Amino acid sequence: MDNKLPVALPKQPKRSVPCCCALRENGFYGKCNGPPKYLQWAAEDKLVARNHEEFGCKLPDTTRSVFLMVFSPDGKRIASTHGNHNVYVTDLTDGKNVMTLTGHPRTPWCIAFHPSSNQILASGCLGGQVRVWDLHGGSEIWTAESHTVIASLAFHPVDRVLVIASYNELHFWDWSQQKPFAKCSTENEKEKVRYIAFDQLGHKLITGIANAPHAHSQWDRVSAPQPPPQAPQMEHERRITICYRYMVEQYEQLVQRYFDISRRGALAATTVSSNFIESQLPM
């Protein structure tokens, strides 16, 4: 009997990253083809053991406990809150304090840089006061009516809006105006808003609520006063913002179409490859 030579299967071509992601998403990859566990452990040990450059930041002698620290968008400065009610801005190139922001009646409990500006900084304190600082000079102030703790702050990445979490309420403030233009609250006063954050595009607002019931909490939407008529310059900025949002939406739709096409192509390629292999196998 003649010995039959084994049939040489065709070599699978290398797939692109989108193709691999689409196949994995649809369950065609049963296991991850990433590096073995011991390589991951070795990489982690190497990262931990690496010699990191450390340097101290010199703060004023009157500084008390440090509560929070945030980086500026360009990573060249940090802002920190302290028990002496001050906010210190430190330059990381030399570690020196370049600015001391004073005026809060109590300890600043939250702090945030504007995501697209290194000169705009917001802080909220235990006494219910919110300040938006222009690091070139000056600040805008708003205080909650009941002086409740300001638990969290979040700048909208595009619009001139600062969202403020205080007790069980959210306030939406254009800091060029004296007070917030909108407010909403949880249905129950015990459901306190502890954390807020926007997504990168500003389409969604994430909230962390304490004492929330198992069911989704309903929001009591209070009718907000309408903002005053906008000046021509502000109207021009509003139109630019609308155009920007439209471009972002078009981009997201293109990305979604790309992934849909890639997924269909990956599925078709997998089906053809499977049929070819089955046809080449000996009966």
Average of per-residue pLDDT across 61-82: 90
Shared-domain flag, residues 218 and 254:
no
Q: pLDDT category, 41, cuts 50, 70, 90?
A: confident
Residues 73 and 176 in one domain: yes
Task: Give tens-digit pLDDT for 136-186.
Answer: 888 999 999 889 999 999 999 988 999 999 999 999 999 989 999 999 998
Among the residue ranges 46-55, 205-214, 259-268, the one predicted with the least confidence is 259-268
Q: Which domain holds residue 177?
A: 66-228
Assess if residue 15 is contained within a domain: no
User: Rounded to whole angstroms, how far apart are CA atoms 191 and 267?
Assistant: 47
Same-domain status, 94 and 223: yes
Residue whose pair of structure tokens reads 């440090």 in the numeric block: 66
- Residue 13 in any domain: the answer is no
- Let me know whether 207 and 252 are in one domain: no
Q: Is the dihedral of CA 186, 191, 192, 194 positive or negative?
A: negative
Residue 199 lies in a domain: yes
Both 171 and 207 in a single domain? yes
Residues 120 and 154 placed together within one structural domain of the fold? yes
Instruction: List helix spans (H) across 11-155.
Output: 17-25, 37-49
pLDDT at 131 exceeding the cut of 90 = yes
pLDDT digits (tens, 9 = 90+) for 85-119: 999 999 998 899 999 999 999 999 999 999 988 99
- Number of domains observed in the structure of the chain: 2
212 and 166 in a common domain:
yes
Asked if the structure places residue 113 within a domain, the reply is yes
- According to DSSP, the β-strands at 108-113 and 120-125 are antiparallel
Q: What is the pLDDT of residue 140?
A: 93
Domain annotation covers residue 56: no
Average confidence score pLDDT of the chain: 80
Q: Are residues 114 and 182 in the same domain?
A: yes
Q: Would you state the pLDDT for residue 232?
A: 61
Does residue 114 fall inside a structural domain? yes
Whether 127 is covered by a domain: the verdict is: yes
Q: Same structural domain for residues 121 and 151?
A: yes
Residue 7 domain flag: no
Separation in Å, CA 58 to CA 52, 61, 78, 274: 19, 9, 12, 65
At 100, the amino acid letter reads T
Residue among 91, 57, 86 at smallest CA distance from 74 = 91
User: Is the predicted pLDDT of residue 225 greater than 50, yes or no?
Assistant: no
Domain identity same for 118 and 142:
yes
pLDDT number for residue 77: 94
